Chains A and B, each alone.
Chain A
Amino acid sequence: MTAPAGVAERLTTLVAALRAHGIRIGTGETVDAAQAVAALGLTDRETLREGLAATLLHGTAQRPVFDPVFDLYFPRGVGAPEQEAAGREDLRDRLASALAANDRAMMGRLAVEAVDGFGGYGSSPASDGWSSYQTLDRLRPQTLLARVRDNVRAQGGGSGFTDRLLEDEIRRRIEAFRGLVAAEARRRVAERRGRDEIARRAVAPSADRVDFLFAGKAQLAELRRAVQPLARKLATRLAARRRRAARGSIDLRRTLRGSLSTGGVPMKPVLRRRRPVRPELVLLCDVSGSVSGFSDFTMLLVQALHDQFSKVRVFAFVNRIDEVTGLLVHGRADPEGLGARIQAEATLTGWHGSSDYGMALGEFAERYGAAVGPRTTVFVLGDARTNMSDPNLAAVRQIAERARRVYWLNPEQTASWGTGDSAAPDYAELVEMHECRNARQLSDLVARLLPV
């Protein structure tokens, strides 16, 4: 190692930045990471990246946070590229050939040049910086698609069956180039503003920590992809809880079978498994624009868990309520279109389009009251913002009396309950209300609250 002291300092600040993103790293791992650096040396950056990832991370989900932070603390280079940036057309030409050849190293160098040439803004030291948005806006790599495609075809690389894959492949390469530009812009900004601050602010949190209410389209799509694995995880957790809950009489046959290995002495009594009474679940989901991301995700999650319950019924409302269980069953193949289909096929709105909890809950108690019985657990999903109309507490009380349990999951942070038109505190007096802002909180709550 060339500069051990400097490396140690660099490493601990990197760890601190990762911790600020909620990755739990102990001192032991930091020491391991230092040993890894000593063993691997500092010559190859990608080897170092993998080495640090292996020692510092504990899960796959942490990798998307780690990579940009690593890029900031162990940057590819320092300062601006040596040669003066070329013109826009020249850069686009070279980018087109790099995209055609799928040359990652070349694309990386071009990203550096592009940010240097087109990404700078501002002139005073306090307000200047580097913007990936501006770079991409001037360079417009997406408009190269047709040109790159024709290039590849002209070289004979696009004949036969796989020709139809070409456009998507080029699109993915362009997407990768955008990522490289974003990373480069972050690096340049970090040189100006201080690495620690950029690492904290400019690196997106992992998907399960994104607020439902502020999640973008891409993040919601990423969350949807996480539904199946999450459901599987929750199912095993529920099964474990169920197993632990098993108390009962001795199962003689299995106890005797088990005693064979101890010479017929029944050392370990085996208890008879209780036949599980699978609980019923009713979901009431606010699908109005403000919270639809949260509702969609939760509905998909519960649907993915459906074999854990004897009956799952899902109702959606804005200011009128309708059952959407059937739509959800068919929705498994196409989760993206779920929200749109619910809006199109169910009757959710009356005279106006804004949400009205009082009306919807009242209608539920009236029309679907029979869906709730002593074995039913009810989940209400929504922000409890009633647009100033009557919260209809009587209906909630009626549902709560009939059901085994009623839980309310609110995607707003606790501090804003009761502000403005939120009726959350009123409802929270009648039923248990939990803050549920991101996928991580949701999975914790689901694991804890779901009946077994």
Chain B
Amino acid sequence: MFTSVDDVAARLAETGYLASPAVATTVFLADRLGKPLLVEGPAGVGKTELAKAVAEVAGARLVRLQCYEGVDESRALYEWNHAKQLLRISAGRDETWDETRTDIFSEEFLLPRPLLTAIRGDDPKVLLIDETDKADVEVEGLLLEVLSDFQVTVPELGTVTATRRPFVVLTSNASRELSEALRRRCLFLHIGFPDEELERRIVRLKVPGLDEALARSVVRVVGALRAMDLRKLPSVAETIDWARTLLALGADSLDETVVRDSLGVLLKHQDDVLKATAKLDLDAL
């Protein structure tokens, strides 16, 4: 899919995703080694966006499995369309049992869920397994099988093997420690907060109306906030929101009033707002 690490960075940038060297390198390797990519990091740094960007670059279909507590095989893999099977049985009254049995367990009655969808078919796909840490441990076992061999066994139909391996991205917020076995099968990528220069480029790209000097100030203030000991550090998503807010307020430079009034966009806890207000001397007016 990609020829070099720089190629990854350049092509992701075309879709509007500015990748750090770490991200570009790991995506390149995931593609080269054909291994799933496990992405961890704080909320709002672009973990899910990365999968979308890769899909766009590769011209692939994005298949998304959103994990939550209680997601199970029938939500993740496949399910038989029970109602339709019943209809089929009642429609064919005069059939022998053998005919009915083979018939109702055929493709027509299969409801493929994301994992099976990603494996079947010849078109390129990107499989995004979002918030893997929210799923129960049993689902991890299921993922192990699918991700190591890229095949799924449906007892009535036989084994479905991927003719073309999807590019797999798993994301996790680390609310639960994923099992060692799953981690072993994946390349690990931690997306942290970007460095100053990269974040400035991201802000300029996402909020084109913002002038260079203000973008620089915005990123510096966010950097200072991240160095504080806050409950929830502002993420890239918050930086962009803040930049948009400033644009909407028509601010052309930062001052005490503007920052104090819009601090709520960056910080989501009252404790944090108070602490930041004190540390940034916003009360000094």
Q: Does B105 make an interface contact (CB < 8 A)?
A: no
Q: Is residue A60 contacting chain B, with contact meaning CB distance below 8 A? A: yes
B231 in the interface, Cβ–Cβ < 8 Å? Answer: yes
A50-B22 contact given A39-B28, A160-B217, CB 8 Å threshold: yes
A40 touches B183 (CB 8 A): no
**Which of A165, A261, A332 contacts B220 (CB under 8 A)?**
A165
Q: Are B256 and A233 in contact (CB under 8 A)?
A: no
Which of B10-18, B29-37, B118-126 lies on the face that meets chain A?
B29-37
| Most A Cβ at <10 Å: residue of B25, B33, B224 | B25
- The residue that B188 contacts in the complex, of A57, A102, A233, with Cβ under 8 A, is A57
Contact A40 B5 (CB under 8 A): yes
**Is the Cβ of B187 less than 8 Å from the Cβ of A54?**
yes
Indicate whether B248 reaches chain A with its CB closer than 8 angstroms.
no
Q: Are A168 and B82 in contact (CB under 8 A)?
A: no
Determine, out of B53-61, B139-147, B174-182, the stretch whose residues face the partner at the interface.
Answer: B174-182
Taking a contact as CB atoms under 8 Å apart, the answer to whether B184 and A47 are in contact is no
Asked whether B160 is an interface residue with its Cβ less than 8 Å from the other chain, the reply is: no
B254 touches A160 (CB 8 A): yes
Partner of A50, one of B25, B74, B221, B254: B25
Q: Using Cβ atoms and an 8 Å threshold, which residues of chain A touch B223?
A: 165, 169
- Which of B175, B187, B196, B254 has a CB less than 8 Å from the CB of A161? B254
CA–CA, A97 to B121, complex, Å? 59
Residues of A within 8 A of B237 (CB): none
Interface SS of B by simple majority: helix
Q: Is the CB of A29 within 8 A of B174?
A: no
Task: Write the A204-236 contact mask toward B (1 if CB under 8 angstroms, else 0).
Answer: 000000000000000000000100110011001
- Identify which of A58, A169, A336 contacts B224 (C-beta below 8 A): A169
Complex alpha-carbon distance, A232 and B134, angstroms? 12
A233 contact set on B, CB distance < 8 A? 174-177
A28 touches B184 (CB 8 A): yes
Given contacts A35-B33, A160-B253, contact A54 B25 (CB under 8 A): yes
| Shortest distance from the beta carbon of B170 to any chain A beta carbon, whole Å | 13
A-B contact count (CB 8 A): 112
- Scoring B residues 209 to 248 as 1 if CB is less than 8 Å from chain A, else 0, what string do you get? 0000000010011011001010100000000000000000
Q: Note all chain A residues with C-beta closer than 8 A to B196.
A: 102
Tell yes or no: B271 within 8 A of A by CB: yes
Task: Say which residue of A50, A162, A169, A225 sits within 8 Å of B21 (CB atoms).
Answer: A50
Decide if the interface of chain A is mainly helix, strand, loop or mixed: helix
Q: Which B residues are CB-close (under 8 A) to A47?
A: 5, 21, 25
Closest B residue to A44 using CB positions: B5
- Interface size of A as a range: 35 or more
Residue pair A161, B82 in contact (C-beta under 8 Å): no
Q: Verify if A59 is at the interface (C-beta below 8 Å from B).
A: yes
Chain B residues closer than 8 Å to A51, beta-carbon distance: 25-26, 29
Residue from B136, B175, B281 with most neighbouring chain A CB atoms (10 Å)? B175
Return chain B residues, CB-CB under 8 Å to A164. Answer: 280-281
Interface residues of B in 156-214 (CB under 8 A from A): 174-177, 180, 183-184, 187-190, 196
A24 contacts B188, CB within 8 Å? no
> Which of A46, A333, A335: most chain B Cβ within 10 A?
A333
Q: In the assembled complex, how far is the CB of residue B284 from the closest CB belonging to chain A, in whole angstroms?
A: 9
Indicate whether A32 reaches chain B with its CB closer than 8 angstroms.
yes
Given known A-B contacts A39-B32, A58-B188, A172-B227, A262 and B82 have beta carbons under 8 A apart:
yes
Question: Is the pair A29, B82 in contact by a Cβ cutoff of 8 Å?
Answer: no
Interface centre among A35, A40, A51, A160 (most CB of B within 10 A): A51
**B183 in contact with A58 (CB, 8 Å):** yes
Q: What are 9 pairs between A and B in contact, CB < 8 Å?
A: A36-B33, A40-B28, A47-B21, A59-B40, A60-B174, A165-B223, A165-B224, A229-B174, A336-B229
Q: Interface of B with A (CB < 8 Å)? A: 5, 21-22, 25-26, 28-30, 32-33, 35, 40-41, 74, 79, 82-83, 86, 136-137, 174-177, 180, 183-184, 187-190, 196, 217, 220-221, 223-224, 227, 229, 231, 253-256, 259, 271, 275, 280-281
Q: Which 9 A-B pairs have the closest CB atoms?
A: A161-B254, A58-B183, A50-B25, A54-B26, A50-B22, A54-B187, A165-B224, A39-B32, A60-B190
Residues of A within 8 A of B (CB): 24, 26, 28-29, 32, 35-36, 39-40, 44, 46-47, 50-51, 53-55, 57-60, 63, 102, 160-162, 164-165, 168-169, 172, 225, 228-229, 232-233, 236-237, 240, 261-263, 332-333, 335-336
